Structure 1
Amino acid sequence: MSVNYHAQPHAVDVPITDMDDPEDDIIFGEQTSERPNPPGTTFLDALDYENENTSQQQHQNIFTKFKSFFAPNSNHNDDYEMVSRFEIDTPSESEDNDNQPPIDLRDRRLQLLEKQVKNRTIIGSVVMLTVAVVTFILFFNRNNGENNNFSGVSTGSRKTYSNSTHDFYKTTILISLDGFHPHYINPTDTPTLHNIMKNEYGAPYMTPSFPSSTFPNHWTLITGLYPSEHGIVGNTFYDPLLKKQFINTNPKIGGLDPDFWQGGEPLWKTCERQNIKSAVHMWPGSEVPSIGPAEDFDRYNGSELLSSKVDRVMGWLDRESIEERPQLILTYVPTIDQFGHKYGISGQNLTDALTYVDNFIDLMKQELHARNLEEIVNMIIVSDHGMAPTSNDRLLYLDDLIDLEKIEHIDGWPLFGLRPKKDFRIDEIYQEIVDKFNKLDEKLTQYYHIYKVEDIPKEFQFGGNLTDHKFNYRLAPIWILPDVGYSVTTHKQMKDNNFDYKPKGVHGYNNTHLLMRAVFLGSGPYFKDKHLKVEPFENVQVYNLICDSLDVVPAPNNGTQPHKLWSNKLNDNWLDTLTFPNLPFEIDHIVRTNATYDMLWREKPAEEATVIPTNDHPLESMKSEESTLTSLKTEVLPKPTDFITTTASTTQTSSTTTKVIENFGEIVGDIVNGIEDGIEAVGDIIHGIIDDIF
């Protein structure tokens, strides 16, 4: 017998004695509304106006569906068993049942109905009140978040600070001085940085992550993750899963490919999630589509004047609306790295560049002072690594160790990661390299180390077993690691460079070596209740520290809680036992006898003024310096194609792209199906919760 689940009960199904009872309309109405869907249909079919079998459901909107959640469990039959779900007062054994008046069924049913309505009203009211409160809180937070997201409406949830003319939120400026070593700071060439290092906050030095290269460390600084955990494992590398090459200086070959940048959450994303506005000036990774900020970011321009950088940062702080002013500002200064690669770590050119950058910092401080923002804005100065000198006398020729025709990809530099072609076994190539390496002069080979990736020292947080780090699969299976100051090249490359090894300055070596050390200096209100100086620390700590300065909750990372960092006060008697440059060979370097670092932590400080006078007119000095410094032709750094030529990556990338396009429809279908399954699951959960309540 077919059943119409959408019609009213047929007259013959209603007991005649109850035909005139008003409560029957209620009871049977409820029973009808709770009947299950016909076989082969779902609750979503009622919303499908094209379904011929649901024409009478067209009037059931979402509110009707919601009301049905509060109906009795539909698994119960349409009989009076439903009464047994409510408590019935049974007479005690001591009562004389014979003296009790006969039960009037109609009165009893009215009592039960009244009790049922009363119970549902109470419980339903509590549930609806709870839902209303939660909805209000969520709606308020959502609106509050939208207001915080720079709509121009004050949130009232963040404390404001006045500079006497405008209100500001807590603000932190992070400045990266690429390639700036702590020993470059001295009272003669860099008086501003000297005063900060001596009299303000920070550490003697900061240890970069391995490898001590620009892109891995800049991504570490703003994610708090080691390179092997965030995926930017070098300035150049090959991803065997993506089948793509990454070259940091080539936006068309990996540099701006979002697929490489999925590891870790950068600071601007962390701030965006918590309605903190950011502005980013030329920070590595900030230009990558869908990875960088949605607004307020500047593309890389290596020749930009430092005076323009100051204007850019101050322009963000000068915005009229407090909601439009960024609370986090990142800015990147490539100058010292450029001059270091070009000239090494000594000479007048580098000295002039150091003074130029010091004037930049001086001008930043003066502009903050002019705006009365010194007690509102924090300024944190970091670098990503140091720099080491190179020489024609310290070279290992890769093509003396292996036939390059057997190598498909070369990762990294000055470290060399080798990926053999598929026709050659890794063990076979490794053994060939080791055998030829052992035949070379030990006076040279003692400064080079050959590893399989699983044997790389664990302290580097790089390599080991495949599962030791999230992105270990991006590391080549065989590595040649030179000591600081030593280089790997090929006979062809040297010939192309007229037998003069370039660049003259290199980084990327052992991150714990003295020459690879980085800078960490700070000033501003965040530091006021901190120890003036803390012990040296790893750069994975910077992300948490900046989040702390803005009261932002960080994403998971490899750092520790900032209070642990600040609790490691630097002992007043702390001295560094290493002497710059800590190398087995003699070199010329910019650090002579006046490094601020050595004054503070290698010997007793000399009697001198607490504060060294700085430039009274840094802007004028910068403009005069820019006329000569900006004419520098930057050094071209080695890249994988300088050593081997392969078309494999291009072919494989094309194949991958075609496959992605072909599978796009399938991917979309899976996503849609997943959403539908999620909706059904949520509906089932809500049904279960409400059934349990009632």
Structure 2
Amino acid sequence: MKSSLCALLCTSVLTAAAITGCGTSRLHTASVDHLTPRQDRYVVILSLDGFRADYQGRCTTPNLDAMDKEGLAGCFRPSYPTLTFPNHYSMATGLYPNNHGLVGNEFWDERGAHYRLGDRKAVEDPSFYKGEPLWNVARRHGMKSASFFWVGSETAIGGQHPDRWKKFNDKVPYTDRADSVLSWLNLPAEERPHLVMWYIEEPDHTGHHEGPESPKTLRMVEKMDSIIGYFRNGLAKLPIHKQVDFILVADHGMQSFDRSRSVNLADYLPIDSFEHVATGPFTHLYPKKGYTETAYKILKNVPHISVYHKNEVPERLHFGSSPRIGDLVLIADLGTQIFFRPQGIPKDFLHAGHGFDNKNPEMYAIFKAVGPDFQSGRKITNPIPNITLYPLVCRILGLQPGAHDADEALASSLLKKTK
């Protein structure tokens, strides 16, 4: 599938701003049917962080099984790097991380500003975010939207938040989040959001600390299944339930680390030869002037990693042209963790992680959809690029999307054919 294209689909000021976020990708005007906002449709998207595509087959998941019978079932191929923030924002914008600005969970931008998870000031800085997220598309069409912890929604992108949004707080119980979404869908029609995006940080948290094979992780998967059942039972009681498409996604999978294959770059390179470093299964380095080639030659001989000049990253990853990416990109072999620590590898070593090449099935994420716009009992066998969510939602709601990298035809093919 040729999915490296950006589709220019409107000429509004907001969309023009989104186009500037497409890096060096060529822009094309996609040929799509004229769309009219559908006031009779609602879309609810729930992301379960780190829900690996094969978890369901190893657990007791009656609610997920029911979704498979009632709707569409498949899996998402995450965008590279397979990390939380880049992929949630890719799903929200239809852009690869290379083009929407969040090129990792940690990076330095054109201003020299530092973005990283946990830094509230950085996370709320709109300068880091490009593209036109779904909630801004909805607003452009006069449709209300809401977010409960979706990446990017805490930031005034293009000067705008969703109509309803929350600052992230992992202390909020999962059923309370479901209750909030249900309450929004039960508002009077003029206040009711047609698009709701919400997020739960499990089973990612448990998977990191216990590993994807752990019984504790699988019990957390079953707990997430119960939350889905809780939400769907509540949804079925609402007057509009037959007008709601419920889409379940995840940002990436999970893979156990092999400590014996860990790579400490400090064993090979002087750390003071770099301006910045960001490490993990996905690592990118910002060498000081004149040191790039020396570091590259050394790293070519380091086991369990592949090193690339940023402009030589494999084309299938759609990554490498953003000025925010370090000059050297390191891709760890599956299961390898990369550090840059002169003091040695830490003792509190996480059990598992993600960020690996998205060709690995261990990085694939769950994807299901049930509702009036999806055929019951349909199974998609090939992994679907997660950026497809963007035009898919726009088609359901009758919205003209902003510039994006996704395949419109693929998005259309996921919907139930109308007579």
TM-score with structure 1 length normalisation?
Answer: 0.52
CA distance in 1 between partners of 2:409 and 2:191 (Å): 28
Give 2:62's aligned amino acid: P
Aligned mate of 1:176, from 47, 50, 58? 47
Aligned mate of 1:236, from 96, 106, 130? 106
Aligned mate of 1:543, from 386, 390, 405? 390
CA distance in 2 between partners of 1:453 and 1:302 (Å): 35
Which sits farther off after the overlay, 294-303 or 217-226? 294-303
| Alignment RMSD (CA, Å) | 2.2
Q: Quick check: 2:70–2:370 contact (8 Å CA) kept in 1?
A: yes
Give 1:273's aligned amino acid: R
Give 1:210's aligned amino acid: Y
Distance 1:159-1:536 versus aligned 2 partners, 3 A rule? closer
Q: Does 1:267 align with 2:163?
A: no
Q: Give 1:201-600 correspondences, 5 Å limit.
A: 201-239=71-109, 241-252=110-121, 254-261=122-129, 263-291=130-158, 293=161, 295-319=163-187, 321-422=188-289, 424-434=290-300, 437=301, 445=303, 447-463=304-320, 466=321, 472-490=322-340, 492=342, 494=344, 497-498=346-347, 500=348, 502-528=349-375, 532-534=378-380, 535-562=382-409, 565-566=412-413
Q: Aligned-pair distance for 1:481?
A: 1.2
Q: Quick check: 1:545–1:562 contact (8 Å CA) kept in 2?
A: no
CA distance in 1 between partners of 2:307 and 2:136 (Å): 39
- Which runs of no fewer than 5 residues in structure 2 stay unpaired? 1-35
Q: Quick check: 1:336–1:350 contact (8 Å CA) kept in 2?
A: yes
Q: Quick check: 2:144–2:192 contact (8 Å CA) kept in 1?
A: yes
Q: Quick check: 1:209–1:227 contact (8 Å CA) kept in 2?
A: yes
Q: Aligned-pair distance for 1:565?
A: 4.8
CA distance in 2 between partners of 1:512 and 1:377 (Å): 33
Q: Give 1:72-83 correspondences, 5 Å limit.
A: none
Distance 1:419-1:277 versus aligned 2 partners, 3 A rule? same
Q: Aligned-pair distance for 1:533?
A: 2.7
String of CA shifts for 1:15-54, please: whole Å, max 9, x gaps. Answer: xxxxxxxxxxxxxxxxxxxxxxxxxxxxxxxxxxxxxxxx
String of CA shifts for 1:258-283, please: whole Å, max 9, x gaps. Answer: 1111x210000000000010011100
Distance 1:283-1:545 versus aligned 2 partners, 3 A rule? same
Q: Aligned-pair distance for 1:568?
A: 10
Q: Aligned-pair distance for 1:492?
A: 4.6
CA distance in 1 between partners of 2:222 and 2:343 (Å): 34
Distance 1:256-1:567 versus aligned 2 partners, 3 A rule? closer
Give 1:536's aligned amino acid: P
Q: Aligned-pair distance for 1:412?
A: 5.0
Q: Quick check: 1:182–1:519 contact (8 Å CA) kept in 2?
A: yes
Q: Aligned-pair distance for 1:374?
A: 3.4
Q: Aligned-pair distance for 1:338?
A: 0.8
CA distance in 1 between partners of 2:210 and 2:190 (Å): 45
Distance 1:223-1:491 versus aligned 2 partners, 3 A rule? closer
String of CA shifts for 1:298-325, please: whole Å, max 9, x gaps. Answer: 1111232111011110110121x20100
CA distance in 2 between partners of 1:549 and 1:358 (Å): 25
SS at match of 1:268: helix
Q: Quick check: 1:203–1:536 contact (8 Å CA) kept in 2?
A: no
Give 2:294's aligned amino acid: E
- Which runs of no fewer than 5 residues in structure 1 stay unpaired? 1-156, 161-168, 439-444, 467-471, 570-694
CA distance in 2 between partners of 1:396 and 1:176 (Å): 31
Distance 1:302-1:186 versus aligned 2 partners, 3 A rule? same
Q: Aligned-pair distance for 1:482?
A: 0.7
Distance 1:188-1:373 versus aligned 2 partners, 3 A rule? farther
Q: Aligned-pair distance for 1:490?
A: 4.1
Question: Higher strand proportion, which one?
Answer: 2
CA distance in 1 between partners of 2:410 and 2:176 (Å): 36
Q: Aligned-pair distance for 1:228?
A: 0.5
Distance 1:525-1:243 versus aligned 2 partners, 3 A rule? same
CA distance in 1 between partners of 2:191 and 2:215 (Å): 43
Distance 1:493-1:331 versus aligned 2 partners, 3 A rule? farther
CA distance in 1 between partners of 2:67 and 2:165 (Å): 28
CA distance in 1 between partners of 2:415 and 2:317 (Å): 23
Distance 1:204-1:564 versus aligned 2 partners, 3 A rule? closer
CA distance in 1 between partners of 2:279 and 2:195 (Å): 31
SS at match of 1:402: coil
String of CA shifts for 1:110-162, please: whole Å, max 9, x gaps. Answer: xxxxxxxxxxxxxxxxxxxxxxxxxxxxxxxxxxxxxxxxxxxxxxx9766xx
Give 1:236's aligned amino acid: E
Q: Give 1:73-112 correspondences, 5 Å limit.
A: none
SS at match of 1:175: strand
CA distance in 2 between partners of 1:272 and 1:159 (Å): 13
Q: Aligned-pair distance for 1:567?
A: 6.7
Q: Aligned-pair distance for 1:238?
A: 1.1
Q: Quick check: 2:373–2:415 contact (8 Å CA) kept in 1?
A: no
Give 1:420's aligned amino acid: P
Which sits farther off after the overlay, 174-183 or 410-419? 410-419
Q: Quick check: 2:364–2:383 contact (8 Å CA) kept in 1?
A: no
Q: Aligned-pair distance for 1:525?
A: 0.7
Question: Higher helix proportion, which one?
Answer: 1
Which sits farther off after the overlay, 285-294 or 548-557? 285-294
String of CA shifts for 1:216-252, please: whole Å, max 9, x gaps. Answer: 110110111111111111111111x211111022113
CA distance in 2 between partners of 1:456 and 1:158 (Å): 39
Q: Quick check: 1:230–1:264 contact (8 Å CA) kept in 2?
A: yes
String of CA shifts for 1:441-492, please: whole Å, max 9, x gaps. Answer: xxxx1x31111112211111011xx4xxxxx211111122111111112455
CA distance in 1 between partners of 2:87 and 2:267 (Å): 32
**Structure with max Cα Rg:** 1
CA distance in 2 between partners of 1:375 and 1:294 (Å): 24
Distance 1:568-1:545 versus aligned 2 partners, 3 A rule? closer
SS at match of 2:54: helix
Partner of 1:676: none
String of CA shifts for 1:520-552, please: whole Å, max 9, x gaps. Answer: 101111114x88233432111110001111111
Q: Quick check: 2:38–2:398 contact (8 Å CA) kept in 1?
A: no
SS at match of 1:246: strand
Q: Quick check: 2:51–2:202 contact (8 Å CA) kept in 1?
A: no
String of CA shifts for 1:559-578, please: whole Å, max 9, x gaps. Answer: 12256652799xxxxxxxxx
Give 1:312's aligned amino acid: S
Count of equivalent residues: 379
